Amino acid sequence: MLESGKLAIFTDDIKMDSQMTKQALNEIETRHTEIIKLENSIRELHDMFVDMAMLVESQGEMIDRIEYNVEHSVDYVERAVSDTKKAVKYQSQARKVTHTRTDTHTR
């Protein structure tokens, strides 16, 4: 074969293998680039979850404080209502005493 000048058979096969190798290399490089993008996206998603966890924790503390304040404000309102009723009662009694004293002095 070599003597008959049919080297083209061998070189064509080598060229074909070289093209297939280049194509495979391009596909591998493309996949590698996509994997790096995916890794970066996963890292970014992880950071977002960490940030979200911190926000939820801090807002949980804020909600706990709000709940505490609401519970105590109910107590304060109940005490204010009770104190207001007492004040009205004392004021009414004070008026009666004042009227009674005024009546006894005018006689």
CA 28 to chain centre: 38
Residue with token string 């070189």: 11
Terminal CA-CA length for the chain: 153
Q: Tell whether pTM > 0.95.
A: no
Question: pLDDT tens for residues 48-103?
Answer: 999 999 999 989 988 999 999 998 998 999 999 999 999 999 998 888 777 666 66
Question: pLDDT tens for residues 28-41?
Answer: 999 999 999 999 99
Judge contact between 1 and 9, C-beta under 8 A. yes
CA dist 56 and 63 (Å) reads 10
* CB neighbour list of residue 1: distance below 8 Å, 6 or more residues apart: 9
CA dist 102 → 89, 91, 106 (Å): 20, 16, 6
